[in-house]
Amino acid sequence: QEEVKDIVKYAQDRFVTIIPEIEMPGHGVAALASYPWLGCTGGPYEVRKEWGVATEVYCAGSERTFEFLQDVLTEVFALFPSEYIHIGGDECPKDAWKKCPKCQKRIRDNKLKDEYELQSYVIKRMEAFINANGKKMIGWDEILEGGLAKTATVMSWQGVHGGIEAARHGNEVIMSPNSHVYLDFYQSMDRAAEPIAIGGFTDVEKVYSYEPVPTELTADEAKLIRGVQGNIWTEYMPTFSQVQYMALPRIAALAEVAWTKPELKKYSEFVTRVTPMVERYKNLGYNYADHIFSVRGEAVPTEGAKTLTLTLSSVTKGDIRYTTDGSEPIATSTLYTAPISVSGNEQVRALCFVDGQPAGRVYRQDFFVSKAAFQAAELQSKTSTGYHAKGIETLTDGIKGKEAFNDGKWIGTQQDDVVALIDFGTETAFNTAKVGALQEINSWIMIPNAVKVYTSNDGKEFALAGELNNIPTLEGMMKNGLKHLEVKFDEQKARFAKVVVERSKFLPEPDGSQKRPSYLFVDEVEIY
């Protein structure tokens, strides 16, 4: 307790309030392992060796559970002067409750509809206890499930929809969407050059682009958005130095998101302000990320031509030098003076030089201009909200997505296979199709089951040309990565090619069951 008091005072002296989070009713395996009677089965329970979501949760049908949680919170109240107490409320599987006689009795006795309303019962009961002790409750957006507690502040992490719903209910909201403010995500698409992270992609500019107050809200509802929070979960950060690297300077961008009116935000001006801040990081010996000073590239289809136009830029005042053969740029490489036209398979590398010395990191982008690139094409399947990218253009623009599923280069779906129809315009010979696919188990993304290629000359009747079935997943439940899948077949001469990428329907569960529908993420359909 003395150590906690010391931390609280250290923060107070710097005008920071520490808000404790005591997880319930899920994410409590450590407590169950110590006190097995807190669970539905009585154990034995084992402390987790890997992070994740456990099916073992507090027993909501036992009064002893509530007595324990109230005792813990009473001790927490005395240690933390914060007005708020965070109770988690997230990622609570209902499996144990469905089988537990005590939990089922609680549902019947309180005329609850189901286990989701049982979770709401737990949250509301703890809310009453917290309020009775002069505190306010915060919970992750799952506390919306089964009915929202009246005085709870909702922390919206699964996108912005939970925050919108809570504000419309009249509850206060803290916006913390994983799409923009998860600082444990990769901050560069060049993952090979980065320390291992949980996945995703959120660079400084993406953090800065976030606006916490959704436009869907009325003026009165908007007043309920109390602020924004960045999350930096440390499962993949073994040292404080790495925490610094993941936080700086993204945390500076988040600060401006919190205190700047939308109409006053301008990224180029932020970069000007953050440059001397980075010098302070350097002088203080902090381990900061320098991606913000690297060359950036944007490639778009050239209007009226079957090529790409690549524009390079840098906030650093210097010369951009580049190569197109995959070699590392040096101070005497080609000077960038105008957008680059890309018409074939090229490996562009670019770096900024100031007074002949490199600044920032190397920009790397490979282009693959196959027979499918820039052709008339149609996406004949549905995508999931937020993962449509640029539609069919994403699959035929000559740019392969990297290992970040949310970098805008991937088509994502949780309900469909991906079906792309390519129209070459005239009869064309080809014998190979390639497709890129992701696996990121912790984001519910799985390698596809199969890839099938069909051909046609009239766009109506299609014949199977080749297929790749029973595609193995990447090894290990937490193994993330990208696979380039190739289907070879006898040479075809056809005007149309239809590529079907079949989704793996469910995520693999440790117990072999099939519960959670998986996502399929696909990019760049290549035909050769």
Fold of 376-527: Jelly Rolls (2.60.120)
Q: What is the 3-state secondary structure (H, E, C) of 225-258?
A: EEEECCECCCCCCCCHHHHHHHHCCHHHHHHHHH
Provide the CATH number for the domain formed by 294-367 in this structure: 2.60.40
Task: For the chain, give the number of residues.
Answer: 528
pLDDT of residue 364: 92
* Separation CA 32–CA 27 (nearest Å): 10
Q: Are 400 and 483 spatial neighbours (Cβ–Cβ below 8 Å)? A: no
pLDDT of residue 407: 81
Residue 96 vs residues 31, 45, 177, 442, 525: alpha-carbon distances, Å: 16, 13, 29, 22, 44
**Beta strand pairing status for 21-24 and 84-88?**
parallel
| pLDDT tens per residue, range 406-451 | 888 899 999 899 999 999 999 999 999 999 999 988 788 999 999 9
| pLDDT tens per residue, range 233-273 | 999 999 999 999 999 999 999 999 999 999 999 998 999 99
- Same CATH fold, 376-527 and 2-238? no
Token pair recorded at residue 408: 């805008």
* Residue keyed to tokens 């799985």: 446
pLDDT of residue 265: 96
Could you please report the per-residue DSSP string of 178-239? TTT-BTTS-S-S-GGGS---SS----HHHHHH--SS-TTS-HHHHTTEEEE--B---TT--S
pLDDT of residue 492: 97
Residue ranges per structural domain of the chain: 2-238, 294-367, 376-527
User: Residues 121, 24, 164, 134: what is their CA dihedral angle, to the nearest 10 degrees?
Assistant: 80
pLDDT of residue 477: 44
pLDDT < 50 positions in the chain:
477
Q: Are 69 and 27 spatial neighbours (Cβ–Cβ below 8 Å)? A: no
Fold of 2-238: TIM Barrel (3.20.20)
* Separation CA 509–CA 208 (nearest Å): 37
Residue type, 517: P
